[in-house]
Structure 1
Amino acid sequence: MRMRENTTMNLSAGVASVTVAAVLVGLKLWALGETHALSVAASLADSAMDLMVSLGALAAIAYAARPADEDHTYGHTSAEDLAALAQSVFILVSAGVIAWAAVARLLAEAPEPLLNQSRGMVVMAISVALTLGLVLWQRHVARRTGSRVVKADSLHYLGDLLPNIGALLSLWASAALGLNQIDSVVALGAGAMLAVGALRIFKGAWDALMDRSAPEEVVTGVQAVIDGFPGVQGFHDLKTRTAGSKLFVTVHVELDGKKTLNETHAIAAALRRAILYAYPDSDVMIHQDPVGVTPHPEDPSRR
């Protein structure tokens, strides 16, 4: 029952994220047409990225609620990483176009004037308010459910407040002080932030698709759970990887060889539950070895 409630809350956060992102994309498209402000264009690109990331997060939450099928016994979470690679390329291209246009305006003898700044400021103020409301709801859901996907999406939107506020300030500076060049400077800064975020997304997705081990703090956390666990006298061959939002853990634990199969199974099962408690969205496989056992000389892994 609790799991169903958590899934419902996580889905509500995902739907809210997608809805807000879609509304912001529509509003900023209109504001860009009205103002011709590059800072608004940068904020629009950021919101478009948000929409794609939020759709990926919503898909991840929905997939997490589905059991694995016969064709995909490890689930479908790698699709998130493939989508993230495409997203990062799109974001990098967008950041490059915005930066190029910003530099061109800065170097132009007669920069293009901004129009209808007041309308643009209204849109950006609405964007800030909607983003703040979404972040508050996501944090509430993350506290209740412990969802790492919702928590990550919340942090992402919190960082998006800066481009929105920057665009708002640049429009105000243009309207009140006649400083049109600030728009290009803000656009350059926002483009740099977009590029850094895109490279971070690309690296994370690439590492996951290449079966890179989980982040060091996750590996250390898993080791801490195993080390000193009642009945476990040692462990080796700890392997981790991630696929989308899912963590995979495989480990060999060393147990007293004099214990019965039922006893060693009970220890391994309890250890698996402990790891799942620490990392709920994970797949854990534990192999049991007697203490002091050495690999067989004909073991293919030794060749």
Structure 2
Amino acid sequence: MKTVAAIPDSRHSRRLNLSAGVASVAVAVTLVVLKLWALVMTGALSVAASLADNALDVMVSVAALAAIGYATRPADEDHTFGHTSAEDLAALLQSALVLISAGMIGVLAALRLFAAEPAPVQAEGWGIAVMAVSVVLTGALVLWQRHVAKATGNRVVAADSLHYLGDLLPTLGVLVALGASSLWGLARVDSVIALLAALWLARSGASIGRGAWDALMDHAAPPEVLDQVHAIANDWPGLKGHHDLRTRMAGSRTFIGLHVELDGEMSLNEAHRIADGLEHKLESMIPDSDVIIHLDPVGPGSGRVARG
């Protein structure tokens, strides 16, 4: 039971999600080119760490864009609940790549930090200019992704936004490292910043992975969603009660199953009208939700007693 009004909203969500995916790929490719040039000019490990992160961003963003496109496919005979779990698989892949990147950068930073002689950093001015451009582009992308994630609830866009938000602090750290090298000759600051960036990446990757794993394991919807369902059902006219609320998340979609209790003497048409109205209300209040309602008769002759 779907409302016609929900169709434009769904199409609008798909367009927003795809726009966020395309923007992510475009920004990642641009930053890789800029930072590769900056690395050649400066030889700074902190720039290399930022470059490695953006190189992974390209792969992950392309995979995320493909997952978003695949997840928009309608349900079919083999996937009766749709294809939205592809978003969670992409987010899990993103998490694994981020953790691998963090480990490699952390090891290199530690080796350089404790080396007998600090590795020289040069042409810091060019590096600073590139990193400043990186901050502007990344900040603009994060703002757009957060807008899209809030509007659509897409888990891949949210994960990508978190990752790029995590990029901002290390990028600012690279600016500090290059500035310290340029102004005071403190070359080891570069390694310290790279090590901190690796720790930040590891934390972000673990967070992304945990959310994706929960969704793939059919984790229940957040408590605030459950409370919203109960509140709407409690006040819905014609219901004698409700029970057996079950939810699960798959990508950006929330699947809801609910048993409602209705007067057993009520006509089937009337019972259907009440349940159908509740289903439409829940789907309108909870973005990208799929609601299935089971009707239970209560009262004399039904064998069930209404729950107070």
Fold in common (TM above 0.5) = yes
- Counterpart-to-counterpart distance in 2, 1:45 and 1:55: 16
- What is aligned with 1:99? 106
Q: CA deviation at 1:6?
A: 5.0
The question of 1:212 aligning with 2:223 is answered no
- Counterpart-to-counterpart distance in 2, 1:167 and 1:10: 30
Alpha-carbon spacing, 1:53–1:90, altered in 2? closer, same or farther (3 Å): closer
Task: Answer whether contact 2:85 2:250 (CA < 8 A) is retained.
Answer: yes
Q: CA deviation at 1:49?
A: 4.7
- What is aligned with 1:124? 131
Task: Answer whether contact 1:60 1:80 (CA < 8 A) is retained.
Answer: yes
User: Taking structure 2 as the reference length, what is the TM-score of the superposition?
Assistant: 0.84
The question of 1:195 aligning with 2:209 is answered no
Alpha-carbon spacing, 1:177–1:47, altered in 2? closer, same or farther (3 Å): same
- What is aligned with 2:80? 73
Determine which of 10, 31, 34 is the counterpart of 1:27: 34
Aligned AA for 2:172?
I
- Counterpart-to-counterpart distance in 2, 1:60 and 1:225: 33
Determine which of 144, 150, 153 is the counterpart of 1:148: 153
Deviations 1:185-209 (Å, cap 9, x if unpaired)?
1112111111111111111121122
Task: Answer whether contact 2:68 2:87 (CA < 8 A) is retained.
Answer: no
Task: Answer whether contact 1:20 1:130 (CA < 8 A) is retained.
Answer: yes
Alignment partner of 1:160: what SS?
helix
Aligned AA for 1:160?
D
The question of 1:291 aligning with 2:298 is answered yes
After superposition, residues 152-163 of structure 1 pair within 5 angstroms as 153-154=160-161, 156-163=163-170
Alpha-carbon spacing, 1:77–1:5, altered in 2? closer, same or farther (3 Å): closer
Q: CA deviation at 1:264?
A: 1.3
- Counterpart-to-counterpart distance in 1, 2:191 and 2:92: 28
Moved more, 194-203 or 80-89: 80-89
Aligned AA for 2:278?
L
- Counterpart-to-counterpart distance in 1, 2:303 and 2:165: 51
- Counterpart-to-counterpart distance in 2, 1:216 and 1:50: 32
After superposition, residues 211-290 of structure 1 pair within 5 angstroms as 211-290=218-297
Task: Answer whether contact 1:45 1:91 (CA < 8 A) is retained.
Answer: no
- Counterpart-to-counterpart distance in 2, 1:253 and 1:36: 66
The question of 1:184 aligning with 2:191 is answered yes
User: Taking structure 1 as the reference length, what is the TM-score of the superposition?
Assistant: 0.85
Deviations 1:153-211 (Å, cap 9, x if unpaired)?
54553443212111112111111111111111111211111111111111112112221
- What is aligned with 2:115? 108
Q: CA deviation at 1:110?
A: 0.4
- Counterpart-to-counterpart distance in 2, 1:193 and 1:92: 10
Aligned AA for 1:211?
D
- Counterpart-to-counterpart distance in 1, 2:111 and 2:82: 47
Off by >6 Å, runs of 4+ in structure 1: 292-295
Task: Answer whether contact 1:98 1:188 (CA < 8 A) is retained.
Answer: yes
Aligned AA for 1:236?
H
Aligned AA for 1:96?
G
Alpha-carbon spacing, 1:216–1:6, altered in 2? closer, same or farther (3 Å): closer
Q: CA deviation at 1:223?
A: 2.5
Alignment partner of 2:96: what SS?
helix
Moved more, 112-121 or 10-19: 10-19
Task: Answer whether contact 1:99 1:188 (CA < 8 A) is retained.
Answer: yes
Runs (5+) with no aligned partner, structure 2: 1-6
Runs (5+) with no aligned partner, structure 1: 296-303
Task: Answer whether contact 2:72 2:84 (CA < 8 A) is retained.
Answer: no
Q: CA deviation at 1:119?
A: 2.0
